[in-house]
Amino acid sequence: MQLRAIKYLILFLFFCTPLFTIGQINDYTVRKCYGYQRDSCPTSKNIYYKINDESRSALFLKGQVSATPFTIYNGRDYRISMCWDHILGNEIKLKLIDKDTDAVLYDNSTDAYSSEFEFTVAQTRDIYIELSVPGQSANLTAEGDDGIIILEKETEMGCIGVLIEHMITPTKGF
């Protein structure tokens, strides 16, 4: 009888343990920021644009700068749109930077911090899409006691999504 009860207990723990671990997942990394670009960024009204698999979203702090590599191809039009949690401010900076020369190909700070940009590519290039969040994160103070360091958690953070759409450049003229 006791052996049977132990078997049931083991089976119960085996099946319930994954449920306990899933319940402890961070809200920002799994539910909130995952797919944020799909759920929150506006898509083009042009039916020929297709969503690019390189679209991204991530958790950002105020004052953070981050870049992701991207290849743009000759003969394609691209549309890049951003969306973000408003706790991060109103002016998220977007730059497109040539990977080989570090030349800034586009900077939305010269375009009234536009959250959308469309362009045609005349030459295939590797670029970086760089995002800068305005502001400054709170200073984290470390307090130590017997070698244990505790840092205050940053509370002014939010998701940023970068939705990239592409299409074949339409033929112009006759």
Distances (CA, A) of 162 to 4, 41, 90, 106, 168: 55, 7, 15, 15, 20
- pTM, 2 dp: 0.73
pLDDT, tens digit, 9 for 90 and up, residues 1-12: 576 666 665 656
Contact 68, 158 (CB under 8 A): no
Provide the pLDDT for residue 107.
Answer: 98
Asked if the model's pLDDT at residue 58 lies above 90, the reply is yes
Angstrom distance (rounded) from CA 168 to CA 114: 24
Number of neighbours of residue 87 by Cβ within 10 angstroms: 13
Asked if the model's pLDDT at residue 61 lies above 60, the reply is yes
Distances (CA, A) of 142 to 9, 147, 149, 151: 44, 11, 6, 5
Residue 116, Cβ density class (10 Å: 0-12 exposed, 13-18 middle, ≥19 buried):
middle
Residue-range domains of the chain with CATH:
26-168 (2.60.120.380)
The residue count of the chain comes to: 174
Percent of the chain past pLDDT 90, that is, above it, reads 63
pLDDT, tens digit, 9 for 90 and up, residues 63-75: 999 999 999 999 9
Between residues 34 and 16, which one has the greater pLDDT? 34
Provide the pLDDT for residue 29.
Answer: 44
Percent composition of the chain: helix, strand, coil (DSSP 3-state, to 5) = 20, 40, 40
Angstrom distance (rounded) from CA 61 to CA 55: 20
Percent of the chain past pLDDT 70, that is, above it, reads 71
139: three-class secondary structure by DSSP: coil
pLDDT, tens digit, 9 for 90 and up, residues 127-174: 999 999 998 765 544 555 565 566 566 678 899 999 999 999 998 888
